[in-house]
Structure 1
Amino acid sequence: MLESKSRSWVEIDLDKIRENFKVMDQHIHKKQKVMAVVKADCYGHGDSIVAKILEEEGVDFFAVSSIDEALNLRNADIKGKILILGYTPAEHFHYLHEHNITQCVMSYEFGKSLSDYALSQNIKIEVHIKVDTGMGRIGIPCQDNNYQIDVVKSIYDLDGLSCAGIFSHFSVADTYDRGTDEAYTMHQIELYQKVLEELKAEGIDYGLTHLQNSYGAINYPELDYDYSRIGILLVGNASNDSQKLKHEVTLFPALVWKTNVACVKTVPKGTYIGYGRNYLTEKETKVVTVSCGYADGMNRQASHHHLEVLLHGKRCEIIGNICMDQFMIDASEVDDVHTGDVVTIIGTEGTETIKIDELSRAANTINNESFCLISKRVPRFYK
């Protein structure tokens, strides 16, 4: 049992992350390898710690969102390849070659800027080219009505770049069962394949290939590119537990979130609770104030949506608005409650389990965001 050193804390089971990696490594095409996406501090689970154990399991490629995240991995002595999935400002280009970091090129303009810098330093910078097959975010458009294959080819010709790979990104690989989403995903695959075939026909060595994100890896495991980019699944969760999957996989949530009771009091019927006076007790109520709030990551939007937490193994509903540092629960059915007692926000007590998905549904968001909102002031303990 881990000892709390804070008013609210998180416990992360690294063995479960190892197991999730093994599950996904077996699930994807045998030709493929897992590229571990550890951006946003690995969804709040600790990027360098998670990357280290995954490197022990054989992962040789990691993906992050920024140069800061990449350098954090290098400073933690991560040896594998690191791909920055987003933009890097020109003043930070030097870190790329100094620390052997691979940069995404999402436009000719950016690629030319990067190449010009590399030539000025008499070096080459390794890149992966991003093509947009239907996400509409970053990347060179390669869609039916905007097919810029010549721009892709021109990036391979930039002398300062070593183009070591090319990739794209699914937008609706999760909702394969909704309307035309599966057809849309299949067409993204067709467009990506068309790009590869045209580059090959031109004699261009396009390098490593990767298309699947986490849901792409679950629902379309038959694709045989070089890597699958897997992120949130490694920590044992999908984005939305209610979304059906084409292929079921058994994953193990690695994170438990706990906090403490700050105050216990019994109030009469007709007592207002919290900011805004928008919760009024309908009976005599044991109100327990909990030492966690939206500054810790408890999404304020989850207020008034019957979200529950566990106290002494019993479910207790959050009442009133979630505050910055605290929230209140109705613990009328729980006996012998005292200041300092442990409250479980995410995790299991006895026969009851609260999943991150319950918080996400109450806040009308996805698990990815709920994890990322758990703030830095909540310490992480590893076991």
Structure 2
Amino acid sequence: MLASYSRCWAEIDTQAISHNVKEVQKLIGQTKIMGIVKANAYGHGDIECARALVECGIDYFGVSSVDEALRLRQAGICENILILGYTPEEHFHYLHEENIVQSLISYSYAQCLNDYAKEKKVKIRAHCKVDTGMCRTGIIYQDQEKNLDEIVSEYQMSNLQVEGIFSHFPVSDDLSKENKDFTSHQIELFHEVIVALKEKGIDPGIRHIQNSYGILNYGDLGFDYCRPGLLYMGVTSDDSIPIESQPDFIPILSLYANVSLVKWIHPGQSVSYGRHYIASKPVKVATISIGYADGLPRLVSNQNLEVLVNGVRCPLIGNICMDQCMVDVTNVDSVHQGDIVCIIGTQNGERVTVDQISRLAHTINNETLSCITARVPRLEKR
């Protein structure tokens, strides 16, 4: 573990990314990996993760916005970058200036992008987004409405270089018969579009549809790329959800904070805002320097969330504050100011997980990790 750096910090084991990538590759055969590094790589550090993925041979990245793409370019990432979301018209120039691929989120959006490119006398690289059931972005191609003509027209636009086609799974994490059937039908619809394009003499380009649970539960579908996010970071969205595969992932993120104060409180004394914790006996309390402004959800207050203090499991008590929280360390023999507390990770052979936080917060690990804020330094494990 790294020495104390700040009031709180995250440690990122980028070397474990290589192991996790190999675990993903076992599931997908010859399918290539598009590393999803949006939202600061789900809070793990986009540039650091992208560099580690490049060392693993990854040649394509997915981001949510043009500013995320530009961060990678400015950091020297030269590989392909696909913007999965919306780029405003005033930022279209970055797409051709920085060789960035734009997803076509609707037919009208593709027309607008093509008009811009025609006016500027440039070609803009793009992927066609097909909506097979997510109903978020893309041209709808579902049983109720199949807009194949619009998909064909996007490929035929004079100033767009449409190099790929993709869709997205909303329930690939759910193994109930209803949702397995829904996902399987999405795959059928996606194949149907690809076949129809080829019959019209159109090369669909690279094909990708699998997100993380699409990889875990549907294996090698024979497409060109898949889009893991959390998987190469060594975690899934929810440890309690059953999956069809048994990968051996290593979580790459650990989260630490310092003890700032240790004191004894007496029976009847309360801890933190709202006085939700009142001591019924003498309690040794450690204040630790992490709070909800760092990404530790206030929602998990007073739910016996355990952290590790010198390798001993200790519950949080009282409401989590913006910058601090309090821990019952009565059972820890020796605790001093400056000691390192493990909120996520391993300490002295004991382990606490992000999933424990997410379950108490009634959310998924994607959100918990993404909400670790920018003021928490990300340090690469040495």
TM range (shorter): over 0.9
Counterpart of 2:194 in structure 1 is 196
The structural deviation recorded for 1:25 is: 1.8
SS of equivalent to 2:341: strand
SS of equivalent to 1:128: strand
C-alpha distance in structure 2 between counterparts of 1:269 and 1:74, whole Å:
58
Counterpart of 1:27 in structure 2 is 27
Counterpart of 2:93 in structure 1 is 94
Give unpaired runs (5+ residues) of structure 1. Answer: none
**Runs of 4+ deviating beyond 2 Å:** none
The structural deviation recorded for 1:68 is: 0.5
CA deviations on 1:36-90 (whole Å, 9 max, x unpaired) are 0011111111111211121122111110000011011111111211000000000
The structural deviation recorded for 1:206 is: 1.1
**Which letter does structure 2 place at the counterpart of 1:140?**
I
CA deviations on 1:84-132 (whole Å, 9 max, x unpaired) are 0000000110110111100000101110110001001111101001111
Counterpart of 1:381 in structure 2 is 379
Matching of residues 1-383 of structure 1 within 5 Å: 1-30=1-30, 32-176=31-175, 178-383=176-381
**Equivalent pair of 1:28/1:218 in contact (CA under 8 Å):** no
C-alpha distance in structure 1 between counterparts of 2:8 and 2:312, whole Å:
19
C-alpha distance in structure 1 between counterparts of 2:52 and 2:337, whole Å:
37
How many residues are paired up?
381
SS of equivalent to 2:174: coil
C-alpha distance in structure 1 between counterparts of 2:128 and 2:280, whole Å:
60
**Which letter does structure 2 place at the counterpart of 1:25?**
Q
C-alpha distance in structure 2 between counterparts of 1:173 and 1:99, whole Å:
34
SS of equivalent to 1:244: coil
**Equivalent pair of 2:267/2:280 in contact (CA under 8 Å):** yes
CA deviations on 1:213-252 (whole Å, 9 max, x unpaired) are 0110111112000000111111100010111110110100
C-alpha distance in structure 2 between counterparts of 1:17 and 1:233, whole Å:
9
CA deviations on 1:320-367 (whole Å, 9 max, x unpaired) are 111100011111111121111111001111231001101111111111
C-alpha distance in structure 2 between counterparts of 1:370 and 1:330, whole Å:
23
The structural deviation recorded for 1:179 is: 4.6
The structural deviation recorded for 1:29 is: 2.4
C-alpha distance in structure 2 between counterparts of 1:382 and 1:143, whole Å:
44
**Equivalent pair of 2:4/2:258 in contact (CA under 8 Å):** no
The structural deviation recorded for 1:4 is: 2.1
Give unpaired runs (5+ residues) of structure 2. Answer: none
The structural deviation recorded for 1:5 is: 2.0
**Which letter does structure 1 place at the counterpart of 2:76?**
D
The structural deviation recorded for 1:257 is: 0.6
SS of equivalent to 2:149: helix
C-alpha distance in structure 2 between counterparts of 1:353 and 1:199, whole Å:
51
**Which letter does structure 1 place at the counterpart of 2:258?**
N
**Equivalent pair of 1:357/1:367 in contact (CA under 8 Å):** yes
Aligned CA RMSD, in angstroms, stands at 1.0
Q: Percent identity?
A: 50
**Which letter does structure 2 place at the counterpart of 1:78?**
I
C-alpha distance in structure 2 between counterparts of 1:349 and 1:78, whole Å:
34
CA deviations on 1:141-190 (whole Å, 9 max, x unpaired) are 111112211211121121111110000000011112x3511111101111
